[in-house]
Amino acid sequence: MTVHASPFDLSGKTALVTGANTGIGQAIACALANAGASVVGVGRSAMDDTAALIEGKGGRFAAVKADLSDMKAVRGLMPRVTEACGRPDILVNNAGIIRRADAVDFTEEDWDAVMDVNLKSVFFLCQAFAAGALAENVPAKIINIASLLSFQGGIRIASYTAAKSGLAGLTRLLANEWAARGINVNAIAPGYIETNNTRALREDSERNTEILKRIPAGRWGKGEDLGGAAVFLASNASDYIHGAVLPVDGGWLAR
């Protein structure tokens, strides 16, 4: 009987994860590292905690500082990463921001800030990443971090909802263009996860109670709950999956 390597093994692969300093990005970076990938974290803030978590288990981590709200930085990111760490095989677009206000009061500044980081930078990072893979004719994986707001409207987060809805569409478009050329483009849609972005909701006792009542699993998700989905979509196990938006939401969308 022939023993084959696990289809989830990421040994020899390099994964670029944006927003890897805390929360979902940190958890995904750790999960990919645990599966054998070398991880390059990208963000504005220090990623010392993520480095310690990965390197403490014998993994490989490199940090690249970049402000993804700055298109000049976005355009220069892939060459910087490739020069320092080699061409990445996996791209996880996790970095994102949120602004809250009633739609009638929502400002242009808050609209543009969220759209630039959560959607515009994602497209151009995907473009630059894919260009490298296509030029070398090698397979690659893109994982975009979508949201329940890719499916639903939400309240008081107009630009976030628009960006995450756009991200789901962009994931499908890029899959249509690149699937036959060896690039898998998929997305994960986290449910209500304990992160800095959801602190305001968790600290609002009324909203927190309403949310928990709706989640069949009966709890808020943790960043670690997304790790398995990320490893799956980054690995050979997902080679025939293209354009999917996978909810990891404790059953929220099923109710």
- 189 φ, ψ (degrees, to nearest 5): -110, 95
Indicate the residue type of 10: L
- Tokens at 246, concatenated: 């996978």
Q: What is the DSSP letter of 82?
A: H
Q: Exactly one of 24, 63, 158, 160 is catalytic; which is it?
A: 160
Distance CA 250, CA 135 (A): 40
Query: Using a CB cutoff of 8 Å and minimum separation of 24, what contacts does 40-46 make?
Result: 40/14, 40/15, 40/16, 40/64, 40/81, 40/84, 40/85, 40/88, 41/17, 42/16, 42/17, 42/18, 42/66, 42/68, 42/77, 42/81, 42/95, 43/18, 43/19, 43/68, 43/95, 44/68, 45/21, 46/21
Matching residue, tokens 């892939």: 78
Using alpha carbons, select from 249, 219, 254 the residue that is nearest to residue 148: 249
- Tokens at 209, concatenated: 């109670």
Distance CA 161, CA 106 (A): 13
192 catalytic per annotation: no
Residues identified as active-site: 160
